[in-house]
Structure 1
């Protein structure tokens, strides 16, 4: 096994979870709250996830969206690294078309130096925003597209391994911190993320672990995972396929409370997809919203694929999803309005699986 990566965990998480459970954080900002409050909640959630035995904690990159404060994953992960000691931290993901591969290699090399052995670099093919914002992010060359994604991934891997071939124009360019500093420098574990077959096939060909966004492309989940597994080639980084399935999951003491919070996330998605992004609405606003036929179509699709309810209901539906997809790991996302409610939800899900509490160690 190459020294910079870790074989994704296999077996079971502590307690009764049939596969490891992880968290995807959008750093949602609700009406009446601030980005600072949302980020402090993320730190609290990361500490809680670590204490309850969740395997990893990822943050997602989005831009120009008032209700999501995760435009800078590397900055947030540095903050979370200072608040935790054991849990794996990573991006779910860095949207590679927005960035020069060298910059990403430097940022995550720095994170790996800060938190050795527990940094994941999840890479996405989309921009995580609209095309105008994408152009603003990469002004020198204009907006990048997913067409360059395979080449950008290859370039990024070469920077992370410091192994450009002789004669390559970047042969003498080094990502620092990184392997040029010696074998003690740890590199992040690279993942590919996707919602279609493109990244699934690429992850298989490169022998990388794959994370699928079931929470917004459920119709593609099984085909993409099948494609990933059938095209997988063992690599120095990974000996056999390993797939995470990401899903919206929210638990509350009652079905009504869980649906209220799920509806706030659903309306956020509806507004984004219809060109009206904003803060995550309150449950009262979500309940009173008058949906157009088009909005109702988006709403129904979102709620059908979300997992919400009482803790036992959530556990049973997560277990069913795991069996249906043969996922090696489940990653739970929540962009609900309530900050305290998100903390409570994670605790209830941990309780439903019997995950014990382990006191945090000093960071």
Structure 2
């Protein structure tokens, strides 16, 4: 699976992992913590991931969610670029319908200039929030919709490459920084993200790498990956299909401590889907919470597909996920409450796969 443009899809340390490992960070803000602490933890996680041989570090776009401070991926990625030197950094993803494609092209060309050769632009078609917030973001009374997503993707790629067909209304509009400046400049690597078959099929037709959100759409994972591989057409970017599967993964010294942290993320999700978003609760609050029938349904599905436990248990479950999906890369997500616990979890998973040790502890 080689990216013909720059070869970035191959070549990361794997230890005994069946596929390269990466990290998706939601910049979780827990009860008793601040956004500043959450962002500093994200920087520490990125440095730790880099030192331990993880391949990518992505941040996601969410809005109007007190427990997730990742509303501005480009801003966070600029911060992380200043904190790292080698690991690929990217969006997992930018919710394209929320933004003008030209603005995204400008932002990510700027990031590419800051961190040459290591910027990923993952694109999603969901709003990353509720419908009311989506309308506030887009300044329109129309309901949020991903129907125009293929057109928006094509427009964004046109700006990134500074290549529109003759007669296109934006043929004389240029993303700056960008190719129009004359000197050779790299471009961010474009990905499509999804939790259904829509983006899987579009990624296949366009010959782009595809990342699937197994952590909240597990029942659709296999069908979506199969659809992507069936519809894939080689492109100037990619000669063969390339897939990433995102999964919630949390490791601790004991099964109980790991489940406690997993439960905090599950309760955060249940509250958001119930229309009551808040900070990520403490393990004590999550354990004592009386779940409604609706919340129990969400909780059961969430925990069933989350990977949590001792490092050995997590490794076994990740290996099984890889065997089921044949993914080219596994991306680990965690929106647990504990800041230090998230760092420990990543270290324990790295240890379980024999990834290289950090030369120094993250500051």
1:318-351: CA deviations, max 9, x gaps? 0000010000000000000000000000000000
RMSD over aligned CA atoms reads 1.8
**Residue 4 of structure 2 contacts residue 239 of structure 2 at CA under 8 Å; is this kept in 1?**
no
1:68-103: CA deviations, max 9, x gaps? 000000000000000000000000000001000000
Q: Hey, what does 2:152 align to over in structure 1? A: 152
Q: Hey, what does 1:257 align to over in structure 2? A: 257
Q: Distance in 1 between matches of 2:141 and 2:302?
A: 35
Q: Hey, what does 1:172 align to over in structure 2? A: 172
Q: Hey, what does 1:184 align to over in structure 2? A: 184
Q: Distance in 2 between matches of 1:7 and 1:355?
A: 19
* Structure 1 residues 131 and 140: alpha-carbon distance in aligned structure 2, compared to 1, 3 A threshold: closer
Query: Which residues in structure 2 correspond to 1:1-363 (within 5 Å)?
Result: 5-9=6-10, 13-139=13-139, 144-359=144-359
Q: Distance in 2 between matches of 1:97 and 1:143?
A: 11
SS state of the match for residue 147, structure 1?
Answer: coil
Deviates more, 1:328-337 or 1:177-186: 177-186
1:224 is displaced (CA, Å) by 0.1
> Which runs of 4 or more aligned residues in structure 1 lie more than 4 Å from their structure 2 counterparts after TM superposition?
1-5, 140-144
SS state of the match for residue 148, structure 2?
Answer: helix
**Residue 162 of structure 1 contacts residue 180 of structure 1 at CA under 8 Å; is this kept in 2?**
yes
**Residue 123 of structure 1 contacts residue 191 of structure 1 at CA under 8 Å; is this kept in 2?**
yes
**Residue 14 of structure 2 contacts residue 355 of structure 2 at CA under 8 Å; is this kept in 1?**
yes
SS state of the match for residue 176, structure 1?
Answer: coil
1:6 is displaced (CA, Å) by 3.8
Q: Distance in 1 between matches of 2:294 and 2:17?
A: 38
**Residue 215 of structure 2 contacts residue 246 of structure 2 at CA under 8 Å; is this kept in 1?**
yes
TM-score for the superposition, normalised by structure 1? 0.96
Q: Distance in 1 between matches of 2:353 and 2:36?
A: 31
Q: Distance in 2 between matches of 1:72 and 1:344?
A: 26
**Residue 59 of structure 1 contacts residue 93 of structure 1 at CA under 8 Å; is this kept in 2?**
yes
**Residue 50 of structure 1 contacts residue 87 of structure 1 at CA under 8 Å; is this kept in 2?**
yes
SS state of the match for residue 147, structure 2?
Answer: helix
Q: Distance in 1 between matches of 2:358 and 2:46?
A: 13
SS state of the match for residue 192, structure 1?
Answer: strand
Q: Distance in 1 between matches of 2:124 and 2:208?
A: 13
1:183 is displaced (CA, Å) by 4.9
1:143 is displaced (CA, Å) by 5.5
TM-score for the superposition, normalised by structure 2? 0.96
Deviates more, 1:135-144 or 1:1-10: 1-10
Q: Distance in 1 between matches of 2:227 and 2:3?
A: 25
1:35-54: CA deviations, max 9, x gaps? 01000000000000000000
Q: Distance in 2 between matches of 1:88 and 1:320?
A: 26
Structure 1 unmatched ranges of 5 or more: none
* Structure 1 residues 7 and 41: alpha-carbon distance in aligned structure 2, compared to 1, 3 A threshold: closer
* Structure 1 residues 99 and 282: alpha-carbon distance in aligned structure 2, compared to 1, 3 A threshold: same
* Structure 1 residues 141 and 101: alpha-carbon distance in aligned structure 2, compared to 1, 3 A threshold: farther
Q: Distance in 2 between matches of 1:68 and 1:235?
A: 36
Q: Distance in 2 between matches of 1:142 and 1:171?
A: 28
1:13 is displaced (CA, Å) by 3.0
Q: Distance in 1 between matches of 2:5 and 2:13?
A: 23
1:2 is displaced (CA, Å) by 8.7
Q: Distance in 2 between matches of 1:13 and 1:20?
A: 7
Q: Distance in 2 between matches of 1:178 and 1:2?
A: 21
SS state of the match for residue 145, structure 1?
Answer: coil
**Residue 63 of structure 1 contacts residue 133 of structure 1 at CA under 8 Å; is this kept in 2?**
yes
